A and B are shown apart, each in its own frame.
Chain A
């Protein structure tokens, strides 16, 4: 619960266009920054955080240290890429911003995201470090991205010059499947904040692990293959059910003619609202499989079903802002899977969804123009009441 003012130095140079940290280095930094801000504010509500960018035309302070998270997040959205990172100037400006903090009782900390090569030499870095130490400013360096000649050594020299009682840290984030934020959460950048912040860090880690992974269902098949398989199978079943439901609705509509439209609509009226939209949407959109619609569909349907599988997939889709491509990939994968397997056990769900069957059949019969003796209507009623009948 240490009272601290933090300045975060973001690298928005041209090197940050690279996508080796998904989705791009810059957005990975932005995610990490939001997590850091949240953790700082949670560990002590009086903590302040400010942001500055080191690339572009020159060092620019986006916000001075503030407790207002909204302001910080708004600044993160407006980041653009360009120029070259000037780490020395960035740190010095950060130090100046901290010097003019409103609450002088706060300790001073700088967090630097060093993604591009460092063009200053060791001496300069050491001098900067000494100056920071003299003014009792701690620094956390996140070394990621470019790994050129001498960069780790320069950063280590900086750390050694600044470090006072282990209050400063240097974290290396290699490229790979783990996102920048994930690696940072388990690093001293977060955990050294004191034990109040670790609660937040743990929650964030759980959410991130659910959302940010590259795998379809937030579970690594290497770690837990059975769970991954179970999730995959249930997702396929879900898809198949939805497809079948859509087909049934479409078939009913075509078979009964226009009368079926009010029928399905009134049917919808007896169902929950989510499945309402589901049935209507599937009717209209079966011939139009757009990715976003499918995922919305899936989510809405799954929400009404209330399965944990859908929670995972929702978490997968919702909490990970940085994995849009992954979501599309997952959807494409699921669609191709469900093309192979058509599960005939959709009827049970359909009947559940339709609610009270007798009520539905009574509606059917009461509608004008629907002849209860019509064989197709009879079939329909029978299929509603009987369970395992494959859709024609």
Chain B
């Protein structure tokens, strides 16, 4: 039953296992290591050159196998994205819930404990990412208990982006009524203005890689029942997550006319990202892009305070101005002023 190679007098177990793996992949089951598949055919060729391989489906010819392995090598791409999700220490409840929502949305992520903010956070975080063996990182930094900054970083040498996060609504809000499978792969929709400029293209690529769940991840679920919507409005990236509800009877076909009856229910969370800077390295490096319209929330608050501070001074000034004006243009005496003075 096993391939007995007369030359080496050994059973060619590797060939059998490789065959079995191929068949399993064809049947669409999840597996962990398909990299060995590309290695195994090469090995097979060395040890058993003449013998046609015996597979469960019949005898497979060697030529076919070579072509198949070539095709598979080209599409042997495997998305091995792993995201590390952490936050800084003084994070408030709303942003912590947002982070937990992200963790539940991305099964290919790993949540880590809080990071001390004061130390050189770039180096610390880089080390952490290396340690966990992740390929990207989402770091939520909360400053002054009010502003949330999100770093999206590709490791080890990838670009990193710092965003200011606004308009946060978490999944726990009762107005967001949808629900979907935990870990099902989302459909990602981008608005067309992501292709208009280079930095948007880069951001689109990073978002695809971070938010798209790898295809045969062990924690991912098979069906597609939710959709992410990324749009650029007013130079901000808006994120929405909707549950897809479409009437259907079979798993691979929509009912006739069902596409028109499709409705989307919002699941959440919702947030709005304002890109601040794009760096060439991870958590640092040369600045590749700076958002010209970005004003830090500190500056906005300072400005508002300054406006309010000037209120009293402005009032005094207005009063003196009015007095001066009155002195320079005295009113004429009113002819009706003493009309009622005589009636006593």
A and B part of one assembly: no
Chain A residues near B (Cβ < 8 Å): none
